[in-house]
Amino acid sequence: SAVISQKPSRDICQRGTSLTIQCQVDSQVTMMFWYRQQPGQSLTLIATANQGSEATYESGFVIDKFPISRPNLTFSTLTVSNMSPEDSSIYLCSAIGLAGVYEQYFGPGTRLTVT
């Protein structure tokens, strides 16, 4: 299984500012994803981070609000732009390894609070 780290682990930000979350995997992976999880809720997929090209966003999420980069096979960033209190959530990155099995492994998450 892949080991995934995220930073920051948590942050408190003012509305109108932006935060970039980093996700690092310890081995090359085929796919990386970004999810959001509100307290007591399940995970909602924001986008698939594509290596070397634009991310694929799910309905309700747009690039201007959540720009994503994936410059190589082991690293991705998610930016939460022009934040509002509604963006307060846990943001998780996940990855699928090279073994050809669709098992996702998750980073520890970034707990974001927007005031």
Partner 1 sequence: RKEVEQDPGPFNVPEGATVAFNCTYSNSASQSFFWYRQDCRKEPKLLMSVYSSGNEDGRFTAQLNRASQYISLLIRDSKLSDSATYLCVVNSNQFYFGTGTSLTVIP
Give CA 14 to chain center in angstroms: 20
Q: CB of 111: closest distance to partner 1 in angstroms? A: 8
Binding mask 28-47 for partner 1 (x = CB under 8 A): -----x-------xxx-x--
> Which runs of E-coded beta strand occur in the chain?
4-7, 10-13, 19-25, 29-37, 43-49, 56-57, 68-72, 75-80, 89-97, 104-106, 110-114
Q: Is 54 in the site for partner 1 (CB under 8 A)?
A: no
- Is 104 a binder of partner 1 (CB under 8 A)? yes
**Based on CB atoms, which residue is closest to partner 1, 14 or 39?**
39
Question: Shortest Cβ distance from residue 67 to partner 1 (Å)?
Answer: 21
- CA distance linking residue 15 with residue 48, whole number of Å: 26
Contacting residues toward partner 1, per CB under 8 A: 1, 33, 41-43, 45, 58, 92, 101-109
